[in-house]
Amino acid sequence: MRTLILAACAVAVMGYSGTCPSSGVCDASVAGATGETCCTVTDTYYECCFNGEGCIPNVGCRCAETGERLERRKENSTDVAV
């Protein structure tokens, strides 16, 4: 059952340098993430949360069902960061 929950949340989360827009959503400057929830991790780093994920301020995007950090692809790379 746990595998099914993780599979439901398994969507890449991208991290970016900078700060979230005042709207709280990722904008067109973030390719593929327009309209997704923007999550501030540090003063100079944010993530765009996708389907099935929630934002924990100062922590990042996490699976809404389990609270676990999901695998993510590094920006402009095929490497997976955890």
Tell me the per-residue pLDDT of 5-41, one tens digit each, with 9 for 90 and over.
444 444 445 678 999 989 999 887 776 677 888 999 9
74 lies in some domain: no
Instruction: Summarize the confidence of residues 51-73 as an average pLDDT.
Output: 83
pLDDT of amino acid 76: 44
68 lies in some domain: no
**46 pLDDT above the threshold of 90:** yes
What is the domain extent for residue 34? 15-63
Number of H helices, E strands in the chain: 1, 7
Q: Say if residues 62 and 70 touch (Cβ distance below 8 Å).
A: yes
81 lies in some domain: no
26 lies in some domain: yes
Q: How far apart are CA 80 and CA 42, in angstroms?
A: 21
The identity of residue 78, as a single letter, is: T
Least Cα distance to 16 among 64, 78, 61, 62 occurs for 61
Domain count, the chain: 1
Q: Say if residues 13 and 72 touch (Cβ distance below 8 Å).
A: yes
Predicted TM-score (pTM) of this structure: 0.65
73 lies in some domain: no
**62 pLDDT above the threshold of 50:** yes
pLDDT of amino acid 7: 43
35 lies in some domain: yes
49 lies in some domain: yes
